[in-house]
A and B are shown apart, each in its own frame.
Chain A
Amino acid sequence: MAADTVRGARKFGRYTLLVVLAVIVLFPIYAVVLQALKTGPDSLDHPRSLLPVDLTLSTIKAAWTQGNLGRLLLNSVFVSVMVTLGVVLTSLLAAYAFAFLQFPLKGPIFVLFLATMLVPAEVTVVINERTADSLGWVNSYQGLIVPSLASTFGIFLVRQVFLQLPTELREAASLDGVGHVRFLWEVAAPLSRPTLGALGLFTFLGTWNAYLWPSQVIRGDRAHETVQIGLERLKNNDISKINLVTGGLVVAALPIFIMLVLFQRQLVRGLTAGAVKG
């Protein structure tokens, strides 16, 4: 009986702690969403009460039109989808070569590939900006998309999975006269679907959330801005309209929140694959 009480008290304590911490972690999001839903776009103040009553969509609507958010979201979707498809394709091809083909210097070439994984964007953007300039790719979709179409991490990840496929598969296929492209497309790729899903989700999120490169390659061209760099405009327009930012934030964050709830498992798989890699 006494042991039960102690256990019950402990459980209660743990729940209390969990709830308090959950409130702290969620508070910034909650406060911003509430501010977007409770006050008009011209309001200079945040709501006095933190209860979700008297809600209005007027701030979000105003942010949508004044921030041109529809266009920004479309740009972000287009760029992220293209980069994701590209990365999955280039990773599949290169990983196939490293996993199933025989060619001289395969080991050293693979190590060279891996070494480029260490080079962060913060170093390359200085020069890539000029390359984009000389190609005429500033303020364009190509400028946003092409530099990100290959991923060493993706190649590494897919190669790992390919190497785990039984070698008999490839041998049997070549005995049957199945060529490399068909084998990749009809056997190897479908068998690696979970990993490709994780890679795709990861690439999509990374591209969607990218800030540094888009902020340098898109210079004030509203037609090509992604949502991440376009949001800033809501803030810079007029400080008295700070509330518009809250509306913009809700619109910008919502698609990703929904996606993460839907794809939580793939996300965890992708993140932990990264951890194993490290």
Chain B
Amino acid sequence: MKRRLRDVPWAVVMLLPSVVLIAVWTVYPLVKAVQNGHLRCDVTGTKCIDAGWGRYWDVFTSTEFQHALGVSLKLMALTVPAGLVLGVGLAVLADKHLRGIGVFRTIFSSTVATSVAVASLVWFVLLQPQIGVFADLFSGWFPVLKNPGLLNDPGTALLAVAFSSIWANLGFTFIIVTAALQSVPRDLYESAFVDGAGNVRRFTNVTLPMIAPTLLFVTVVLTTRALQTYGEIALLTGGGPNPEKSTTTIPYLIYGRNSIISGDLGTKSAAAVLLFVLSLALALVQFRGLDKRVHYGR
């Protein structure tokens, strides 16, 4: 017993910095946001009354939140499957011992170096309707690029945001999947080859099951990132085009400079908590649903 307690002062000293920081900047704001989510405020945001847990339902069913939820889910549907397929495709293609393959790997990883702001502004420049490169190159096939511009058309703005995110996330997916492919034991491929399995069979019967845990991880990360999309919206579209607000995602509804709830602490908190619950629930569903089909070979 004495030995057990001897370390306690040291443990307290060493844990203290992390405990204080995490308590103040992660736990407190979470608890406080859950509490504030009960508040219903007047238009000025100064007078608030406690409306109880029911307030969450009100916020959830409000037109603004439902709209933003729809946009976020749409963005998720546009980015996650496409990003996953492209990333895995590139990784499989580059997973061969060819001369100069290192150069291709570096190129495919390169977008990991772009931040949200850099990637978004790159696409902002390229997609300019009058003076952008894409308008110049492709407006013959897609007139929308020039008039009114992919980012300015309510029907295509979210697609443009999706292009930017898929491209920016490609490097991340490529690196992770490449590492997973390299850890697949080569003799598995050899035995599959001896058994007469072709390229496709080898991919579906050996590669896919072996890298499934990694794919699960990447799916969860990409889903979470899609739900948390803020910077792309702030820089590319400002939540518009308006009045449709075609790209106002949930994070942009909460944090956007010109969002209609920007002065309303209660609604902002409730929306933030709902976003958290939503991403947690989706991650859980993905883990549960896919876990059964995943082979954790070590």
Contact = CB atoms under 8 A, between A and B. Distances in A.
Interface of A: 11, 14-15, 17-18, 21-22, 25-26, 28-29, 31-32, 35, 44-46, 89-91, 93-94, 96-97, 101-104, 109, 113, 116, 118-128, 130-131, 146-150, 152, 155, 180, 208-209, 211-212, 215-216, 228-229, 231-232, 235, 242, 245-246, 248-249, 252-253, 256-257, 259-261, 264, 267-268, 271-272, 274-275, 278
B230 A122 contact: yes
Contact of B21 (A121, A125, A150, A216): A150
B135 to A, nearest CB: 9
A201 to B, nearest CB: 12
Contacts of A242: 125, 128, 131
A127 B32 contact: yes
Nearest to A101: B7
Contacts of B279: 120
Contacts of A91: 18
B139 interface: no
A180 B107 contact: no
Nearest to B167: A28
Kindly list the 8 A-B residue pairs having the minimum CB-CB distance in the complex, ordered from nearest.
A209-B115, A127-B29, A150-B21, A278-B217, A211-B231, A124-B29, A101-B7, A228-B117
A90 B10 contact: no
Q: Is the interface of A mostly helix, strand, loop or mixed?
A: helix
Contacts of A231: 117-118, 121
A256 B27 CA distance: 32
B273 A127 contact: no
B15 A249 contact: no
Contact of B17 (A93, A121, A212, A275): A93
15 contacts: A15-B98, A89-B17, A93-B13, A102-B4, A103-B7, A103-B8, A116-B22, A147-B21, A149-B21, A150-B25, A180-B14, A209-B117, A256-B115, A272-B176, A275-B176
B272 A126 contact: yes
Given A103-B8, A232-B234, A252-B115, 20 more contacts: A14-B93, A15-B98, A28-B167, A31-B126, A32-B122, A93-B14, A103-B5, A104-B8, A123-B33, A123-B273, A125-B272, A152-B22, A180-B14, A211-B234, A228-B117, A245-B124, A245-B125, A246-B125, A249-B122, A264-B109
A118 B26 CA distance: 10
B263 interface: no
B133 A131 contact: no
Contacts of B188: none
B4 A103 contact: yes
Nearest to A45: B131
B33 A155 contact: no
A38 B26 CA distance: 47
B265 interface: yes
Contacts of B176: 271-272, 275
Given A126-B29, A231-B117, A96 B14 contact: yes
A275 B217 contact: yes
Interface string B245-269: 0000001001100000000010011
Contacts of B18: 90-91, 93-94, 113, 150, 155
B272 A122 contact: yes
Contacts of B107: 22, 25-26
Contacts of B269: 126-127
A128 to B, nearest CB: 5
B235 to A, nearest CB: 6
B228 A120 contact: yes
B123 interface: yes
B125 A35 contact: yes
Nearest to A32: B122
A272 B180 CA distance: 8
B90 interface: yes
B224 interface: yes
A209 B255 CA distance: 18
B22 A150 contact: yes
Contacts of A118: 280
Contacts of B6: 102
B56 interface: no
Nearest to A30: B133
A212 B28 contact: no
A130 B104 CA distance: 46
A234 to B, nearest CB: 8
B3 interface: yes
Contact of A122 (B4, B121, B251): B251
A18 B101 CA distance: 9
